[in-house]
Structure 1
Amino acid sequence: MIRSSWRPVCGAAVAIMLGAVLAAQPAVASEPRPLAAPADEAQDFPFPGADTIALHDGSNRYITYGASSGGRKVPYAISGSGDTVGTSPTVVGDAMPGGGGDWVEAGAGIWTPGAFYLVKDGVGRYYLFYTAIHKNDNDRRCIGVASSTSPFSGFRAEPTPIVCPDKGDRWALDADVTTGPEGAIWMTWRDGQRAEGLESALSVMMLKFNTNGTVDRNSDPVVIMRSDALAWAHHQDGGGVTVIENPSALFHNGSWYLFYSGNSWSTNFYSTGIAYCGAKIDDGLCSQLPGPNRAWFSYSGPATHLPDSLRLYGLPGNKRGPGAMDVYRARDGKPWVTWNYLSDEGGRKSRVGRLVITGSGANADFKVAL
């Protein structure tokens, strides 16, 4: 995600809370943790669905939120320093221990919390855009919003979802929020409302942030990606719907790019695609890079994997099933990513790396380095 405004939010309460958070971690406050060695999982985030933003409390560090795991609804970790995002295996706390609000099924988990920070009328707030099960609604997934002036707690969920399909058994999930030209703020998500047949659709819309911390739609949703032509996304997947999900948009050097996941998340075939969307993110369908038949980042074996004809690059560590790649910027404006993978120890973890971009427009090239 491209994050807005880096102005810190200062205050005694935030400073006390930050002190407690750092005290709960290993003694790494003065130096950022090194990035994980390619094959070593020991320093990776111990949860899936990782999303990172800079802390705005004077600490110069970063906070990474994840999907429900380990008994926590929204686990989070603190890492990095200055322009280095870093990584950490230590879960410090739960940002939303009460869950996602009154509209959420009792006891339901929280998926893919998309984090965002904004200063509005002099007040800095942290926002989480999250997926949860809507109660009394046939297991339907919807997207909710919660905000807090603290990154660690106090998130207040809005009483109704910002997106919730009413079309058959379709879902809305995997919201991500980013800032584009002229300060416009956009949300991308997997949009079951506008999917057709056995496909998945990814959509975008502009958001309006209110003084009281609530969020409204500021434009109509527009579909920017459909899965029906993606050969790699339905390779050996007999689940019916061809899945694409976890969209994360990046505006770079005058162009929009869309990072997203495809295929079945629980398999080695789950991979990351990239599309070129041009100068406007809501101007119709984005174009696949390098084309509809190849995932951009994928596991390369030796275990079962996508054929070489359906994949382009690997990622550091060559972990199985790399997806849910989230794009954001460090304090110096340089792009970083986190992504899920299937851990060798079981379950899923998340890894962080620097995004290296060369070229421009539809000819841009993307690689990840630790």
Structure 2
Amino acid sequence: MRNSHFASALAVAALATLAGCSSDADPIEETTAGTTSDAAVSEDVEWPSEITLALIPNENVTDLVTSVAPLTDYLSEELGLTVEGVVTKDYQAAVEAIGSGQAHIAIADAGSLAAAEDLYGAHAVLQDVRFGASQYAAQAFTNNPDKYCDDEPVEATYPATGQTFLYCNGVASGDDNSGVGPVGFDALSKIEPGTTVAFGNTTSPAGYQLPVLALEELGLSIDDVEQVPVTGNDTLIMAVYNGDAEVGFAYWDARSAIDESEVPDLGEKVVVFGLSEMYPNGGVVLSDELPEDLRTEITNLMDDYSEVDPETLEALFSQTDWVPADPAAIDLAREVNARFSGE
């Protein structure tokens, strides 16, 4: 899941991290033909001859440069203009590229979509679909179900892998296991001062931000618990499994990240007792400098890309589709940005 974290003012210096995705690694050039910096564009504004799509690098930037070509080539051919791909250092740099006019399309996390809208009047148009959903919940799990479960834990099948795990408080039952929250998250009120709690990185919506917001809504302070900081969803799960923490947080259902052959009793010892409200997946944001009719065309083309080249979409972003962005979901990302900016 893409993580988000924005300071109240994003550093313009991040723009220096942009590097061209073309094979000769040329720097980004300013687009001049037909572009407009006027915030109020109309449908009869001439389209630019070239636009830039910003992505975040994977472990091997060269692979990304090569693999993004089917998407940019598709857009170029269908739009009748040149679409160049660029790699940015991080999501913050992608947002700044949108704001400065160095990029016109960015594929980023949900926090970046909200930040680009708020800072630069950009337009969040699409959200990623993974495991059939464009949103996901943080899950709360424990090795002490007697304390956090109001009912007897029941087995349910995690549909993405077919694995069987224990759930309580109405989170799941049998084959009814959608991962849709909120449900059972008010059981966090049973966390007492001094309880050991495993949190993920502070930039993680599921591992840190959504749980902290929920605790605060229940009148609990994160400073009242004994924080067990870990990185990675597998280590979050194992911290609770091993008894280093009584409660932990991760995305639904992160227990599937653990090799069953190595920890065969994981689904019995670690019980999920609550799901947070739904947080949006990342997606696509478009610069306001693009004419409105061009934004519409780009949105429709990218929305259709899962039918044109599903293999590339899966390889690039580990997703199966893009769907129209949900403004209410983006508002939650905006709320998270506001709460955790500067941390």
What band does the TM-score fall into relative to the shorter chain? Answer: under 0.3
TM-score with structure 2 setting the length: 0.24
* Greater fraction of residues in strand: 1
Larger helix percent: 2
Report which of the two structures shows the higher radius of gyration computed on alpha carbons: 2
Which one scores higher on RCO, CA 8 angstroms, separation ≥ 6?
2
